[in-house]
Amino acid sequence: MTRRVVVTGMGCLSPLGSDWDAFSRELREGRSGISVREELIKIDGMETCLAACIDDFKIPADYPRKKIRSMGRVSLLATRATEIALEDALLTNSPLLGSGRTGISYGSTSGSPPAIQVYSRCLMKETVRGIRPTDYIQLMSHTVPANLSQFFGVRGRIMTTCSACTAGSQGIGFGMESILSGRQDIMICGGSEEFHAVNVAVFDIMFATSTRNDAPHTTPRPFDRNRDGLVVGEGAATLILEELEHAKSRNAPIYAEVLGFGTNGDGKHITNPDSDGMRRVMAIALADAGLAPEQIDYVNAHGTATEAGDIAESSAMHAVFGSGVPTSSLKSYLGHTLGACGAIEAWATIEMMREGWLAPTLNLDEVDPRCGDLDYIRGGIRKAKTDIAMTNNFAFGGVNTSLIFQRWDS
């Protein structure tokens, strides 16, 4: 029997809201989640003071202390997004979670930065006093999937994707492969990232951040002639992937089918984006799905609003699709949510497909001529019947991903 993978539940926390109604309203009205952050202003030498944060997040009162003391914010965001997704998939407290046939494939850029700070401060003072036993659990690279496993009692395979900006999309892709291989029936997949000054500093010292500090809602500007860099954000999104017949047998809701996945390495430079690597990963995903380029109705671009990244990505898309495929970047609203971006953008792409419209790239007033003549969606939402969509993400280290989803007709 040929196995097929579908999405049966979704949950998201983002700077634009934590449910699709709120999120889509912000997209439709062209509202940005970017704001000035006081904690960045006071850091000596930091050129940007902009970020996109979830200011209203609170730990649910019913979360047991014993289960969350090993969690930093990055794990807490992922836990809440996963709780929403499991409820959506009709899996809350289900015995399927502990059956061994449900696994987790989830990522983040790193562990929780405040826990890393604890170790750094103490060791600089040549003492271990002040370090709690749970601090390491919060900072370890696999903190998110490990904490999700113990919180929800998941006993299947646990896969960690700590590949920076491709962590969320690799989480989905590797989850898909786990189901197609027959090793699991259900996979909890996604990515999470918490806001911290260290994540901003990484890009700031490379002169890659936007410094429109007096006009936060006018940036970032993916593919725009007047862009000046990216803005860091935070968030989490979880997709429940499930084998199709398994989902049907329990009357689970179905939102989309995962048709294809590609991931590769540039093998060239540790930070400079490579157009050929991007082109190849899209070709891999298309071959995996058995599709021709002209069958893709929409590409959700990585679109970070860095000069090198935008030019390389647009060149790669043109090489694969020509100028005809509609494309836009949600980072223009959310900022770059790093380890979460692949999952958040997949979630939003699926929801837009289901409702028959596509969000424009915010702040794209004048396309950079070096980004070519792609069909950039701008100026307002575009009503479109989208059957098949691709979402792309690219990370430091030359790691690339491409996912392809098909709208599900009930």
- Residue 178 · residue 105 · CB < 8 Å: yes
Averaged pLDDT, 93-106: 98
Close Cβ partners of 42 (under 8 Å, ≥ 6 residues apart): none
Q: Are 96 and 242 in contact (CB under 8 A)?
A: no
Sign (positive/negative) of CA torsion 61, 67, 71, 76?
Answer: negative
Q: Sheet holding 35-36: strands in order across?
A: 35-36, 50-52, 232-233
pLDDT, residue 378, reads: 97
Distance, CA of 110 to CA of 113 (rounded, Å): 8
- The sign of the CA dihedral 92, 98, 103, 106 is positive
pLDDT at 43: 97
Tell me, what's the pLDDT at 122? Answer: 80
Question: What confidence tens digit (pLDDT) does each residue in 173-208 have?
Answer: 999 999 999 999 999 999 999 999 999 999 999 999
Q: Alpha-carbon distance 309 to 302, whole Å?
A: 9
CATH class held by domain 5-407: alpha beta
pLDDT reported for residue 127: 86
Residue 165 pLDDT grade (very low, low, confident, very high; cuts 50, 70, 90): very high
- Count of other CB atoms within 10 angstroms of residue 140: 18
Task: State mean pLDDT over 208-230.
Answer: 98
Q: Cα(363)–Cα(328) distance, rounded to whole angstroms?
A: 11
pLDDT of residue 119: 81
Question: What's the one-letter identity of residue 149?
Answer: S
CB hemisphere CA count around 1 (13 angstroms) = 9
* Residue 90 pLDDT class (50, 70, 90 cuts): very high
β-strands 232-233, 256-265 pairing: unpaired
Average pLDDT score over residue span 60-84: 97
Q: Which pLDDT does position 129 carry in this prediction?
A: 82
CA distance 209 to 203: 6
pLDDT at 123 over 80: no
Separation between Cα atoms, residue 176 and residue 179, nearest integer Å: 5
Q: Which string of DSSP letters, residue by residue, matches 210-250?
A: ---TT-GGG---TTBTT---B-EE-EEEEEEEEEHHHHHHT
**Predicted confidence (pLDDT) at residue 410 exceeds the cutoff of 80:** no
Catalytic positions are 165, 302, 336
Answer yes or no: are the C-beta atoms of 157 and 246 closer than 8 Å.
no
Distances 263 to 166, 173, 311, 337 between C-alpha atoms, Å: 9, 8, 20, 19
**192 neighbors 75 (Cβ within 8 angstroms):** yes
* Confidence band of 44 (pLDDT split at 50, 70, 90): very high
CA dist., res. 236 & res. 193, Å (int): 6
Residue 166 has what pLDDT? 98
Partners of 407 in the β-ladder: 256
326 strand-pairing partners = 375
Question: Quick check: 96 pLDDT over 90?
Answer: yes
* Average pLDDT over all residues of the chain: 96
Using alpha carbons, list the distances in angstroms from residue 282 to 22, 36, 400, 402: 31, 35, 9, 6
Mind giving me the DSSP string for 36-75?
E-HHHHTSTT----EEE--TT----TTS-HHHHTT--HHH
Instruction: Say how many C-beta atoms besides its own lie within 10 A of residue 4's C-beta.
Output: 15
